[in-house]
Amino acid sequence: MIFTYKIADVVFSADIRYKNTYLTMEDYLAPDEAPEFQIVITDEDLAQEKALSPYTLPDYAYESTAVYRKYIYIMIERYDAFFFHCSSIAVDNKAIMFTAKSGTGKSTHRNLWIKNFGDRVTIINDDKPIIRKIDGKFYVYGTPWQGKESLGSNISVPAFALCFLSRSETNSIGPIDTVSVVAKMMNQVVRPKDPRLMANALDLLDEFLKQVVCYDLRVNMDDEAAVVAYNGIFKG
Amino acid sequence: MKIKDGFMLRQFGENYIVVAVGDDAEDFNKLITLNTVGAFIYNLMENDVTYEEIVSAVLDKYEADRKTVENDINKFLADGKKAGLIDG
């Protein structure tokens, strides 16, 4: 069945076969809006997702990621958008992104923010939010694809801070040099094979890095970690 | 001499960084950073140029003696070859 969705302020339709996909994407339905493009998932697309996956799951489990793959490529090509793996939260309508190698403790750290700052914190997307430039400003958008714990909300929040998280005995937050930032981001963002698209993606990344403040954030698992990070970002 | 296909020089803030593009990009995790002179040489070498052409272009552009310029270029070429950036 064909459904219409609005994700990152872009309306598109997708031909969905499986209920699982419908439920994953339910919060983003936009039945009254006019789609700008349509996504169709073929048997080959599902087979490709299955081949890429480290797990062997039934076909339906791969439909949603197949939709995501097609959607994100169109977003990168046409809508000044990109994504990278990070846990993103909104605090007082400012988006803070935590990125780290998997297993570093992004989720633990994000939970410390919720524990310390309660209702002031909203999870935007816990895995790979879409970052989009609109009228020269970058926004972090929630999407239906929101990680293992499926945490996120259908909101958009102005991009504010990007924290490169690592574990440490003691808590500290400080500046990080541009070359390290670019090196870390290059490992994360989708790198289109077409040189023209690649150039666009890099220009977008450069603009993004000028708008957000980047931090080297070293934390342990104590409550104090979130307070140190908060103070560095908002009072530093 | 020429920069190989599959690389792209971009400016991030104050920094010039060479990134890999294309099919081999997945295997390329190391970034090459350049100073302004390096970036200037890189741009020249996007076309096939001779050593002497690079020297005179750099001398035209920067206030420096030939010896210094040649040292800079030699270092760029040595580093670039080591990084697999240069053909010929």
The domain ranges of chain B are 2-87
pLDDT of B20 reads 81
Contact B23 A210 (CB under 8 A): no
Q: Single out the residue of A22, A166, A185, A123 nearest to residue B12, CA to CA.
A: A185
Q: Do A36 and A139 fall into the same domain?
A: no
**Please, are residues B18 and B31 in contact by the beta-carbon 8 Å criterion?**
yes
Q: Do A99 and A55 fall into the same domain?
A: no
The domain in which residue A215 lies consists of 82-235
Average pLDDT of the residues in B55-83: 94
pLDDT of A42 reads 94
pLDDT of A186 reads 80
Is the pLDDT at A156 greater than 90, yes or no? Answer: yes
Number of domains in chain A: 2
Contact B33 A202 (CB under 8 A): no
Q: Do A94 and A114 fall into the same domain?
A: yes
Average pLDDT of the residues in A65-69: 94
Percent of chain A at pLDDT > 90 equals 80
Q: Do A37 and A141 fall into the same domain?
A: no
Q: Do A134 and A211 fall into the same domain?
A: yes
Nearest by CB: A199 against B8, B13, B14: B8
Confidence band for A136, pLDDT divided at 50, 70 and 90 = very high
Q: Which residue of B has its CA nearest to A181?
A: B12
Radius of gyration of chain B (CA): 13
Query: Looking at the DSSP assignment, which residues form a beta bridge with residue B32?
Result: B18
Is the pLDDT at B13 greater than 70, yes or no? Answer: yes
Geometric angle at alpha carbon A122, from A118 and A125, rounded to 5°? 140
pLDDT of B22 reads 67
pLDDT of B88 reads 67
Boundary (domain end) residue, out of A78, A103, A129: A78
